[in-house]
Chains A and B, each alone.
Chain A
Amino acid sequence: MKVKVLYLASLREQLGATGEDLDLSPAVSTVAGLRTLLMARGGAWQSALAQGKALRVAVNQEIAQPATPVKQGDEIAFFPPVTGG
């Protein structure tokens, strides 16, 4: 299952990555599952995405929750709480 993942603002800097195309196994079916998968990379991934970190996730440019499903072709963005205005 191919998805596009984006890392924005301070998270992009912490991870040293703007985003990537991933081919997920069927076992990864939610936002929470994807976050766990990325954390398993260790290092900055483990610390920046750790539970308790204030993180927001959008699926296809709509704010998502941990239980939001992740499907083929989705664009999933991880970012810190917003600070515009």
Chain B
Amino acid sequence: MPVRVQTGDFDAGAEIAALRRGNPKVGAVASFIGVCRDANDGDAVSTMTLEHYPGMTEKALEKIVAEARTRWDVVDVLVVHRVGELKPTDQIVLVVVAGAHRSEAFAACEFVMDYLKTRAPFWKKEQTPKGTRWVEARTSDDEAAQRWEPPKSSAA
């Protein structure tokens, strides 16, 4: 279950091919690519700079992937996240989940992204005509992650 943090771009096709190469157990591959937009909160964005906490980032991503593997029967998971300076249309993040069936692959892919958005130590700073600013965390991201929490008062 590789996780990578890198400044360079990634080739999703090559990554997917490598993840499932020669593995006849894989019947479904779900992937997600996050891309840098040219606007945020009503302002044009010319550059986005991604910072992270080296060491913790990799551990946090590995923990998220491990958690996904305990919840769904998946064959393999890949997370690639870029850091440094990015421009609109640049790729930011890739999540690939290979599984036997689509339902597990879809669910695990969405879970990894929702947890990554709220638990992996990355921060975005954007350049707009008004100056540079740090992107604020969104409550909608917390809500998306909370969907995966077990019910607090389980009848079981």
Do these two chains interact? yes
**Segment from B6-14, B20-28, B129-137 that makes contact with A:** B129-137
Query: Nearest A residue to B121 by beta-carbon distance?
Result: A82
Task: For B53, list chain A residues within 8 Å (CB).
Answer: 6, 8, 58, 61, 77, 79
Task: For A81, list chain B residues within 8 Å (CB).
Answer: 118, 137
In A68-84, the 8 Å CB interface with B consists of 77, 79-84
Task: For A50, list chain B residues within 8 Å (CB).
Answer: none
How many residues on B have C-beta within 8 angstroms of the other chain's C-beta atoms? 27
B108 close to chain A: CB less than 8 A: no
Taking a contact as CB atoms under 8 Å apart, the answer to whether A84 and B56 are in contact is: no
**Complex: how many Å from CA A69 to CA B52?**
24
In A1-40, the 8 Å CB interface with B consists of 6, 8-10
Taking a contact as CB atoms under 8 Å apart, the answer to whether B56 and A83 are in contact is: no
Contact A80:B122 (CB < 8 A) given known A8-B53, A58-B56, A61-B59: no
Give B contacts to A, CB under 8 Å: 34, 50-53, 55-56, 59-60, 81, 92-93, 113, 116-125, 134-137
